[in-house]
């Protein structure tokens, strides 16, 4: 990877999404903070960034459904995935000791995920708009009784010290990020099981139709890794289905399955084929 790459992410510098970009690409890659998830898409479409990173699912809290809708509404391609291990760090001014802290600022979800640890340390949680923003606030004010829960990256960006790592109560805390680009990945590999493909489709509202759609994959021993449904606005209780399956789109068996699927769908779009990210997960 070269330094000409620029990765758009949602949030302030030091956000978990930025740390993901640096882990996936390279610590020296350029990053572009964006206000909203929509802006990540437009940054890539317009060429201001070569790639975008988009959180799509957390292993504790579930799918980020709005981002599924954005994948459909935009024309970008998924070219990668990354399972980011969410490790919440407790940040403070460099010379401050843990015993001096009274309050801890962060996003409500980060505070909730560290509830037991914070109670143990006797620290009062204070809800803020985001994690990296809390670290920036700490840096700007120089507050000495206040800490922030944010990423390791945020400590670097805002010159703060890391007083504790892995503050999260449940270590099985992963966020799956998608890597987006303007053009699909060219895959010529021979091991379909090392790849994943994401598609979205809709079908006529008929009994048994989802079963038939799944048989397209099951009858060819293609493993589904995720199914998600989203409402179709204007059609109450009809759905767009998002499916991830093992394999890449040009592998003959996947190609035939997708051909078969078009016999059932009224709409089908391939969102992308990309290398599967495998890690050893903490599991309870």
Count of residues that bind a copy of itself according to CB under 8 A: 41
| CB closer to a copy of itself, 107 vs 230 | 230
Q: Could you tell me which of 81, 78, 92, 188 has the C-alpha nearest to residue 142? A: 92
Which region among 41-49, 53-61, 90-98, 146-154 touches a copy of itself (by CB under 8 A)?
Answer: 53-61
- Residue 270's DSSP bridge partners are 199
Beta carbon of residue 6, minimum distance to a copy of itself (angstroms, whole number): 30
Measured between alpha carbons, how far is 169 from 102 in angstroms, rounded to an integer? Answer: 20
| CB closer to a copy of itself, 140 vs 237 | 237
Catalytic residue ranges: 175, 177
Using CB atoms within 10 Å of the CB of residue 211, give its burial: 0 to 12 exposed, 13 to 18 middle, 19+ buried: exposed
Is the Cβ–Cβ distance between 257 and 246 less than 8 Å? no
Beta carbon of residue 153, minimum distance to a copy of itself (angstroms, whole number): 22
Beta carbon of residue 82, minimum distance to a copy of itself (angstroms, whole number): 13
What count of other Cβ atoms lies within 10 Å of the Cβ of residue 154? 29
Q: How far apart are the first and last CA of the chain?
A: 36
Beta carbon of residue 255, minimum distance to a copy of itself (angstroms, whole number): 19
| CB closer to a copy of itself, 221 vs 263 | 221
For 249-257, the CB contacts below 8 A with 24+ separation are: 249/187, 249/197, 249/273, 250/187, 251/192, 251/195, 253/192, 253/220, 253/221, 253/222, 254/192, 254/197, 254/222, 256/220, 257/216, 257/217, 257/220, 257/222
Phi and psi at residue 51, to the nearest 5°: -140, 160
- Residue 198 has, within 13 A of its CA and on its CB side, a CA count of 23
Which region among 14-22, 45-53, 160-168, 211-219 touches a copy of itself (by CB under 8 A)?
Answer: 211-219
Residue 183 makes contact with a copy of itself by CB under 8 A? no
Binding mask 13-52 toward a copy of itself (x if CB under 8 A, else -) reads ----------------------------------------
Which region among 183-191, 235-243, 249-257, 261-269 touches a copy of itself (by CB under 8 A)?
Answer: 235-243
| CB closer to a copy of itself, 267 vs 282 | 282
Q: Write down the H helix ranges in 114-169.
A: 115-121, 131-141, 152-157
| CB closer to a copy of itself, 61 vs 145 | 61
Q: Which two tokens stand for residue 150?
A: 């944010």
Which region among 25-33, 89-97, 120-128, 232-240 touches a copy of itself (by CB under 8 A)?
Answer: 232-240
Task: Write out the binding residues for a copy of itself, residues 54-113 only, by CB under 8 A.
Answer: 57-63, 65, 83
Residue 170 makes contact with a copy of itself by CB under 8 A? yes
């Amino acid at each position: 990877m070269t330094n000409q790459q620029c990765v758009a992410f949602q949030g302030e510098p030091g956000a978990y999404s930025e740390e993901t970009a640096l882990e996936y690409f390279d610590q020296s890659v350029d990053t572009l903070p964006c206000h909203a998830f929509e802006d990540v898409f437009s940054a890539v479409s317009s060429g201001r960034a070569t790639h975008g990173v988009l959180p799509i699912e957390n292993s504790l809290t579930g799918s980020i459904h709005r981002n599924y809708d954005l994948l459909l509404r935009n024309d970008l391609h998924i070219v990668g995935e990354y399972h980011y291990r969410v490790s919440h760090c407790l940040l403070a001014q460099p010379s401050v000791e843990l015993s001096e802290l009274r309050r801890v600022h962060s996003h409500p979800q980060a505070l909730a995920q560290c509830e037991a640890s914070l109670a143990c340390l006797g620290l009062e949680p204070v809800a803020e708009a985001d994690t990296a923003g809390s670290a920036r606030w700490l840096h700007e004010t120089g507050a000495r009784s206040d800490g922030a829960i944010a990423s390791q990256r945020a400590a670097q960006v805002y010159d703060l010290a890391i007083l504790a790592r892995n503050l999260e109560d449940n270590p099985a805390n992963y966020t799956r990020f998608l890597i987006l680009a303007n053009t699909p990945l060219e895959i010529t590999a021979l091991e379909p099981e090392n790849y994943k493909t994401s598609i979205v489709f809709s079908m006529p509202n008929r009994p048994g139709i989802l079963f038939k759609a799944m048989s397209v994959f099951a009858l060819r021993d293609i493993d589904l890794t995720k199914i998600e449904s989203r409402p179709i606005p204007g059609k109450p209780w009809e759905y767009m289905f998002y499916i991830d399956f093992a394999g890449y789109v040009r592998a003959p068996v996947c190609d035939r399955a997708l051909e078969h699927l078009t016999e059932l769908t009224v709409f089908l779009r391939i969102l992308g084929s990309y290398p599967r990210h495998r890690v050893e997960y903490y599991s309870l």
